[in-house]
Structure 1
């Protein structure tokens, strides 16, 4: 450096030099701080939260598609399958893959035989879904439709076929009310705690066993991992995790008996319940008309739903547990048990039946207008004499009748694991005071004593009551599932009989009633002779329950009375008489008479039961004429 430069530096003002040095220090501090901040940020991103950001990057690169799991199978008590799963083909739409959606949807609507507005409505409903989430346009298409779409796939961009498991109803609408149906989860259901593992589009149990045991049947979804590009388009399939099927339900139901009951009911509206008397296991739960289960697959169409909704035979009602009917003369079992147990009569007590009894200013008639004459306890039950039980009811009083009815499980829910189990009604003085703010009138007791008036019951309640009367007095909770097993056969859960205690009433009383009920079927004058089978003794009680009493119907022929005003027909029963195994209860809505309408249905069930038990067909029974008394059958 020349002397001239040194001279120039020496001439710099000390204050300027100090200021320059300060600026250099500040610049160095800024550089050091910025470097430290950058290093810290890099450490935070790459070390502290490195795994998280790697996952986020991976998530943007990988799309996960869930694969529906097959629901568990439903099997009968022998292990025979009732409902399984099968592959179902759905038409789905990926809006990102369709450059000209209007033209594609128009062609697709023609193939599916759907109005294009239906498809557009489904697409609009999914507007808030993620971009690449597939939209289901049509479920469970047939083979011809599938083939047509596959052959035209090049001209249908965005349209795909989705293969998912669907319910396979091996016996059609068999036991439809008990089994129930499945459907797509609704927005309201998604908010419920019990469905916190589900998401939009999932299939869940909507009614019956399918709903109650949904958490066991649902299975675990599988996953398919897809690699996508920066625009979200699929590049390749990376990995597949297979779905795991749901657990199997082993029902107490017997396929053969259920089918026998459904066939015997035919086009009649009503219910059949069969219960093992010593376990509470339900072998038959039949409500007719049956539900068209296949119509619910993929969502029931509005016209079909409206038809079911307005059908006068009310197929949407599970009549076994929801139907509440006056029990008619079947209720005489309750009155009989109360009367003998309370000591107001004994087996030798007689009353004279002239065909009616006068009480106050009202005449109470017997079903046999000419009267039964003098009858004792046994004959009164065998011939179902109304006058006898009017007289017994007077002696008992309504509260005694109510006490025994409640003990037999009437007037309260049965405890079955199904929704909408109704309790029926057993009236009492306290009930009327609370309900109507009125006192009980003694004449009302006469109607209740023969199962009319305010009293109402369900078919399941009466079957359970019958089982308790003939098994020695134990009231069992109805059971419909025997066990739950995993897909590999391991028992996950089993169900044992549940006793709800002993009914009120002495063994002597029960024995007298059982003996009389056998007489109803097998003795002269019995109201259920039509039920007889060779080599099998059956006990039972018929009942004709008045729906409504209209003066204009008096004197009309039975077929001239409008259907909705005709009496209901009951028959509740048990067999074998000496050592009861099953109880069978039949209700035929507006069937007029228990013996001729409900009796043959029970007979068909017993016939099949003993055929299965013996391994051979029952011999043809001797011809028996229908029970048709001179005035009106009980």
Structure 2
């Protein structure tokens, strides 16, 4: 019994001596329980060791390596510099594509000056998902704080003996972008840059060269002849890019030049819709951290602008990978985690490829924009802005990028959504709506339209005066819109302002969606400007779309579509559907109604009749443009004054064919500083109608050289041979 009692005493003593309490007390005389210690006795309460562990691991999750380093023991800091310490952790974080660290303390063993804590970390990787590891942290009590004794196992238990992490990423091929009819617009392939060397042209090979380039690019031969005749022409002209398979079927002739490059994102047909589709480009330095968290290697290509950016998540697919621990001899120690990639999805846009190409070519040589909408749904069939850029040239392996990239900054401006223009006379449909809704006017209200309108001792001219035409004379309000009679609309602006309807026109404009974005998703968009008039003269100017008023081409397209469809303002959309590899739609187009025009059915009908007169009546401002058209259209011309020497040319309108399976369209065209809308914008509108309903351009523009797509030769560009001017091959 004595031996057992002695043994019990020894065990009890050892348990007290090895107590895990974080509290120690300096030596001193004992005192009764519940009394303060006498002077000279100090109590030292250590902070909980788990607080130090939590702080260290939380700092890891925040990538706050300085805080982590400061928590190390003196010996641990002496053994490595902060730069080496931070590089070790950052390298693991980046290699594993980590974006979140969570931890859970499992157990602890605390002694007087040392402690050991077991914990589990759950790491989230953008490439391999979540995985967990259990390890231990040794700590030492220094300087009134728990300090971490650093070891490689603190990151991973397998990272000992100079082992390291290695990620094998699995990157799915980028998804394809199609037009509304299933024609591919953007693919991943090997490609060939096409161009021609001007100094290699000769009388013997020029025709063969131009004809081959025409077959490759879809442009007429005269287009290339035009540029070769420009004085001081550059030595090499980039033409387009084609697939390597297409090139393999071609036998180069004459001065045509071909240069291969590989593994590119190729925008077919010379690049359809640069502002619409956008392009892919390298991750920028400021974006590295953001995209690293999503599993993108630093050299990844990401969508820039347009659909490429809007649908980046679907087009990129879901990345996967295998995360290894690798020995110093580069042998795999273990597989930490792995996840298979998910294939990218394909995007079927609302774009009509032929219509989009036609819009781009129609604007060549001009600054301006064209927007074509499906009238009754808001689908964007074409959206072109000029100048634009060659998306394919964003790949620096493309030889043509030496000539086409970077484009001027103005080329990235999407004039369709960001260009803010005074609307001029296309605004008169809104003024007409405000006039009729005020009940001061009817569709049959009369006015004698002369060359000038006098107000406050000032004369305001009609367009017929500058054009050298007789005044329009007596007109109804419908006739006033048909003739675009400025004095009639000046008078409406004054009359409304002086009769208690000071803001009627500006409020109607807002009701037509102006002054606010259209809501088109993924595109930078300006709101334009609609101000209330402060004086009667402001209302006079506002009534003809001047004053401080500005709108965007896409806003014009939306409201003219509403005039044609019965009054509904639809949000423009560019994606028809997104499909997975099994052909299942994961996203489908649904029309989005943004509002209704704030006008009665009678007012709408009157405006529609007036717009038909513009194109169908012999006195209409666009009659000559549409006189021989087989398509029924209604529209409005506009010539908007601006600080430049010439007016901006506008035309807006819609078709009224009513063909089953062929939805009617609405179109807005603006061409900067060229003059009358009837001479420039209306013909481009007609070109859109021709391509959409008949599949091809039929009538050359007046500024073309008798061949659709070929500019008229300025006289100073034409060289002579034997005293005779060089003429284009009419077969072009």
Counterpart among 338, 346, 353 of residue 449 in structure 2: 353
In the alignment, the residues of structure 1 paired with residue 413 and residue 363 of structure 2 have an alpha-carbon distance, to the nearest angstrom, of 16
Provide the residue aligned with 2:631 in structure 1: 536
Q: How does 1:73-88 map to 2 (within 5 A)?
A: 73-86=176-189
Q: Distance in 1 between matches of 2:338 and 2:687?
A: 52
User: Which of 402, 416, 420 is residue 520 of structure 2 equivalent to?
Assistant: 416
Is the 1:68–1:221 contact (alpha carbons within 8 Å) kept by the matching residues of 2? yes
For 2:476, the equivalent position in structure 1 comes to: 376
Cross-structure match for 2:640: 545
Q: Does 2:569 align with 1:466?
A: no
Retained in 2: the 8 A contact 1:531–1:602?
A: no
Which of the residues 677, 694, 697 maps onto 1:611?
694
Which SS does the other structure have where 1:368 is aligned?
helix
Could you tell me which residue of structure 2 aligns to residue 326 of structure 1?
A: 422
* Aligned with residue 216 of structure 1, among 264, 289, 314: 314
- State the match for 1:8 in structure 2: none
User: Matched residue of 1:544: which SS?
Assistant: strand
In 2, Cα distance between equivalents of 1:624 and 1:307? 29
Greater mean alpha carbon deviation, residues 339-348 or residues 214-223: 214-223
Change (3 A) 1:288 1:237: farther
Q: Which residue does 2:672 correspond to in 1?
A: 589
| Residue 481 (structure 1) aligned with residue 575 (structure 2) | yes
Structure 1 residue 206 displacement after superposition? 2.3
1:226, distance to aligned residue in structure 2 (A): 7.7
3-state SS of paired residue (1:331):
helix
- Are 2:595 and 1:504 equivalent residues in the alignment? no
Q: 1:408 to 1:538 in 2, by over 3 A?
A: same
In the TM superposition, 1:138-177 aligns within 5 A as 166-177=264-275
Cα offsets for 1:408-460 (capped at 9, x unmatched): 1011100000232111011114xxxxxxxxxx111111111111110000000
Q: Which has the higher strand share?
A: 2
Bigger shift: residues 237-246 or 181-190: 237-246
Match of 1:202 among 297, 300, 312: 300
Q: Could you tell me how far 1:179 is from its partner in structure 2? A: 1.2
Measured at CA, do residues 625 and 297 of structure 1 come closer, stay the same or move farther in structure 2, by a change above 3 Å? closer
Which residue number in structure 1 is paired with residue 343 of structure 2? 245
What are structure 1's unaligned runs of at least 5 residues? 1-24, 90-139, 144-162, 430-439, 549-563, 627-634
CA distance in 2, matches of 1:486, 1:408: 38
1:42/1:271 Cα in 2 relative to 1: closer, same or farther (>3 Å)?
closer
User: Using a 3 Å threshold, how does the CA distance of structure 1 residues 532 and 218 change in structure 2: closer, same or farther?
Assistant: farther
What displacement does 1:268 show? 1.8
C-alpha distance 479-303 of structure 1, shift in aligned 2 (>3 A): same
What SS does structure 2 have at the residue aligned with 1:595?
coil
C-alpha distance in 2 between matches for 1:84 and 1:622: 32
1:501-549 CA-partner distances (Å, limit 9, x unpaired): 221111111111111111111111111121345432111001001112x
Task: Decide whether aligned partners of structure 1 residues 532 and 304 sit closer, same or farther in structure 2, where only a CA change above 3 A counts.
Answer: same
For 1:195 and 1:396, the matched residues in 2 are separated by 59
* 1:171-186 superposed matches below 5 A: 171-186=269-284
Cα separation, 2, equivalents of 1:424 and 1:263 = 27
Shift of residue 298, structure 1, vs aligned partner: 4.9
- TM (normalized to structure 2)? 0.60
**Greater CA deviation, 50-59 or 578-587?**
50-59
Post-superposition CA distance 1:214-251 (Å, at most 9, x none): 12221123546789552548999999987543211111
Contact 2:632 2:655 in 1 (8 A): yes
Residue 363 of structure 1, CA deviation: 1.3
Aligned to 1:632: none
Higher mean alpha-carbon deviation, 280-289 vs 213-222, is at 213-222
* TM-superposed deviation, 1:371: 2.0
Return 5+ residue gaps in structure 2 as ranges.
1-9, 19-108, 110-114, 120-132, 137-152, 193-240, 245-260, 705-732
Match of residue 436, structure 2, among 313, 321, 340: 340
Structure-to-structure mapping, 1:213-292, within 5 angstroms: 213-223=311-321, 230-232=328-330, 243-292=341-390
Q: What is the CA–CA distance in structure 2 between the aligned matches of 1:295 and 1:205, rounded to whole Å?
A: 15
How far apart are 1:596 and its partner, in Å? 1.1
For 1:154, the equivalent position in structure 2 comes to none
The 2-side partners of 1:486 and 1:234 are apart by: 35
The whole-number CA distance in structure 1 between the counterparts of 2:450 and 2:319 is 72
Q: Secondary structure at the match of 1:321?
A: helix
> Mean Cα displacement is larger for which, 231-240 or 271-280?
231-240
**Change in 2 beyond 3 A, CA 1:608/1:459:** same
8 Å Cα contact 1:469/1:510 also seen in 2: yes
Distance 2:262 2:700 in 1: 54
Which sits farther off after the overlay, 295-304 or 325-334? 295-304
What is residue 487 of structure 2 aligned with on the other side?
Answer: 387
Q: Is 1:521 equivalent to 2:619 in the alignment?
A: no
Question: For 1:351, what is the secondary structure of its paired residue?
Answer: strand
Q: Structure 1 length normalisation: TM-score?
A: 0.69
Q: 2: distance between equivalents of 1:245 and 1:165?
A: 18
Distance 1:222 1:624 in 2: 56
Residue 488 of structure 1, CA deviation: 2.2
User: Aligned to 2:416, what secondary structure does the other structure show?
Assistant: coil
Q: For the residues of structure 2 that align with 1:55 and 1:532, how far apart are their CA atoms? A: 81
User: Aligned residues, how many?
Assistant: 489
Change (3 A) 1:48 1:499: closer
Distance change (3 Å), C-alpha of 1:277 and 1:411:
same
User: How far did residue 336 of structure 1 move?
Assistant: 0.6
Cα separation, partners in 2 of 1:195 and 1:48, compared to 1, 3 Å: closer
CA contact (8 A) 1:83 1:168 kept: yes
Aligned-residue CA RMSD (Å): 4.1
Following superposition, the deviation at residue 57 of structure 1 comes to 5.9
Picking from 565, 576, 579, the partner of 2:656 is: 576
- Conserved in 2, the CA contact under 8 Å of 1:190 and 1:196? no
